[in-house]
Homo-oligomer: A and B are copies of this chain.
Amino acid sequence: MAAYYSTEQYLGSLARRAALPAGFCAATASLAFSPAEKPGSFPMNLSLILLDEPTASFAARFTRNRFAGAPILIGRERLQEPRLRGVLVNNKVANVGAACGVADARALLAELGGLLGSPERELLAASTGVVGWRLPVADMRAALPGLAAGLQRRSLLPVARAIMTTDSWPKLRRARVGQGSIIGVAKGAGMIEPSLATMLVFLLTDLDIPRAALREELARCAESSFNRISVDSDQSTSDMVVALSSRRKPPVPRPEFRLALLAVCSGLAEDIVRNGEGVGHVLRVRVGGAAEPLALGLGKAVVNSPLVKTAVCGNDPNVGRILSAMGDYLGSVPAGQGVDFARLRVSLGGTVLYEGGAFRLDSKKERLLARYLASCAYDPARKGFPAHDRCVEIDVDCGGRGAGFVEVLGADLSCEYVRENADYRS
């Protein structure tokens, strides 16, 4: 993302990119319900993504959280099915830990299948929202006929909007490749941690790709995108990334497909981090010169350190906290014992902070770094999206022989984050 958009420009650009690939249709509907668990009436959106014909070429990645929601439990079983036709998504209630959660979701899928002429086992459920509440099955059931009647072939943008919870903006990315395309929408994880609030991603393509290949490519691309935007990512109760192919367009070479899928996934991952008013700065940490698992751990340790995050929030170049976070991580894993701090080099915005076993700081550099952080910050005068188009760039060279770099995206920690999460459900 190279420039700020106004809200209208941003939504307009999404609308132009949102065309459904061949062989897909989509619908959304709204309802209101009164949960048994909390006084009041709450709105809920339903979304439906549907293939004209069931496909064998589908793939999904699920949270590793042991307290997984009913849609995850059902989804894991669905991976064994020969074909899938579509996904029913709801926001507001995550259907996690509720009595009869699996039965509730199955009943809704069966009802929807009846309307669409598909067996329940060819439909997937995805839910995001409050953990612990039961799905309002009766209210949702009543909304299904309207949902099925509203199917259209034009745009995935209404789905991108309907799956939002605390998201500020719909998130949609598209890549054209060969004669087809890959399009993805994401529901974005509260504000910062995909591990702690749900991330839902739906990727649709009309390019012909066999089931095994699609699953392999999704695993690889998700690892390099959604799994690199925070520690413990894909660990919420409900995180789910689904890819569906209608196989209507001729196949493209695997490397081309992979690059296009990675571009869509990386774009959505960045959108998720940038999303949310609470995020004042986006951090990009690049770690090289170390084996990949160690480099990834170091990068995540930096972007997840509350003290690094709060310092960046305040444009305070308290760079000791970056090294402290790295030392904390290195002290906690056996491989960390092999890192030699004398060979380590750490830069912030291209300015070397630490080299040759010591900090390289002076008061001139301090002022420079404070200005650099301020220049990367969210400007409240700009009301468009993205709210900021820059990253606070932190580069770490561990001085070893690791091949290439690992890149991790994170965000600062602001009062807005606390406020939003202190009162999410009300």
Pairwise interchain contact B424-A316, C-beta atoms closer than 8 A: yes
Residues from chain B with a CB closer than 8 A to the CB of A305 are 196
Q: Is the CB of A362 within 8 A of B67?
A: no
A107 within 8 A of B: no
**CA of A426 to CA of B310, assembled, Å:** 14
Residues of B within 8 A of A328 (CB): 65-67, 195-196, 232, 235-236
CB neighbours (8 Å) of A425 from chain B are 316, 318
State whether A422 touches B67 (Cβ < 8 A). no
A323 within 8 A of B: yes
**B422 to A65, Cβ gap below 8 A?**
no
A395 adjacent to chain B (CB < 8 Å): no
- For A310, list chain B residues within 8 Å (CB): 417-418, 421-422
9-residue interface stretch from A136-144, A170-178, A329-337:
A329-337
Q: Is the CB of A314 within 8 A of B422?
A: yes
Residue total for A at the interface (Cβ-Cβ under 8 A)? 78
User: Is the pair A418, B313 in contact by a Cβ cutoff of 8 Å?
Assistant: yes
Q: Does the CB pair B421–A418 fall under 8 Å?
A: no
Q: Chain B contacts of A318 at CB under 8 A?
A: 130-131, 424-425
Are B97 and A323 in contact, with the CB atoms below 8 A? Answer: yes
Picked from B65, B68, B363, the residue with its CB within 8 Å of the CB of A37 is B363
Contacting residues, chain B, for A331 (C-beta < 8 A)? 63-67, 235
Smallest beta-carbon distance A413→chain B, Å? 6
Chain A interface, >50% SS class: loop
Question: Is A255 an interface residue, CB under 8 A from the partner?
Answer: no
- The 8 A CB mask of A344-380 against B (1 = contact, 0 = none) is 0000000001100111011100110000000000000
Determine whether A25 belongs to the interface, using a CB cutoff of 8 Å to chain B: no
Asked whether, in the complex, the Cβ of B97 is within 8 Å of the Cβ of A65, the reply is: no
State whether A66 and B132 are in contact (beta carbons under 8 Å apart), knowing that A39-B366, A311-B424, A422-B316 are contacts in the complex.
Answer: no
Tell me, yes or no, whether A248 is within 8 Å of chain B by CB: no
Our pick among B68, B132, B358, B415 for the contact of A327 (Cβ within 8 Å) is B68
- Kindly state whether residue A423 has any CB partner on chain B within 8 Å: yes
Question: A3 contacts the other chain (Cβ, under 8 Å)?
Answer: no
- Report if A320-B99 is in contact (Cβ < 8 Å); known contacts: A37-B366, A68-B327, A313-B422: no
Q: Is A148 an interface residue (CB 8 A)?
A: no
> Please, which residue of chain B has its CB at the minimum distance from the CB of A36?
B362
Is A414 located at the chain interface by the 8 A CB criterion? yes
Of the residues B38, B319, B423, contact of A314 by C-beta under 8 Å: B423
Kindly list chain B residues whose C-beta atoms are within 8 Å of the C-beta of A94.
Answer: 320
Determine if A401 is an interface residue (Cβ-Cβ < 8 Å): no
A336 to B353, CA, bound (A): 40
Report the bound CA distance from A94 to B318 in whole Å. 13
CA distance A415 to B420 in the complex (A): 11
Chain B residues, Cβ within 8 Å of A323: 67, 96-97, 131-132, 237
> Which A residues, 41 to 75, have Cβ-Cβ distances below 8 Å to chain B?
63-68
Query: In the complex, are the beta carbons of A414 and B418 less than 8 A apart?
Result: yes
CB <8 Å contact, B132 and A67: no
B366 engages A306 (CB within 8 Å): no
Q: Which residues of A contact B (CB under 8 A)?
A: 35-39, 63-68, 94, 96-99, 101, 130-133, 190, 192-193, 195-197, 232, 235-237, 305-307, 310-311, 313-314, 316, 318-321, 323-328, 330-332, 336-337, 339, 341, 353-354, 357-359, 361-363, 366-367, 413-415, 417-419, 421-426
Chain A to chain B: the 5 pairs with minimum beta-carbon distance, closest first: A131-B320, A67-B327, A314-B422, A310-B421, A66-B330
